[in-house]
Amino acid sequence: MKDFTTPAYIAPILDEIRTLYKPITDETTRACLNCVVLLQKKTSRDALAVREPSKGAFYYSGPAARDLFRQLDEWTAAAETEPAELDQWKWREQSRIMEAIRAGLIEEYRRPKK
């Protein structure tokens, strides 16, 4: 099966988030929201709260993520020999994509400062 969680697929989504959002470094705010990374949209008050996997789900639905899910849908439709044959695999792959995005954000914004 094709792996849609490789850096080649996830990097455009992380780049989009880097472009659209800025980190909120206030420890009190992050603690109140129980998140590891808090990103606020540069043009509005919208925010992404990124929590540890054990503390809840993460979902990002920006244009780059929608494009990746479109690619996943197209690949799944082409790979199926029977209708709905790969539905479970596709759902698990979507979950893995979101986990890869979360892991990338946590790794990037929790890096030790040099």
CA atoms within 13 A on the CB side of 66: 3
pLDDT given at position 17:
97
pLDDT given at position 113:
58
The stretches in the chain having pLDDT less than 70 are: 112-114
pLDDT given at position 112:
59
pLDDT given at position 110:
84
What is the CA angle 20-109-23, rounded to 5? Answer: 45
pTM for this predicted structure: 0.91
Provide CB contacts within 8 A for 107, sequence distance 6+.
Answer: none
Under 8 Å between Cβ of 51 and 37: no
pLDDT given at position 56:
86
pLDDT given at position 82:
92
The domain locations on the chain are 7-109
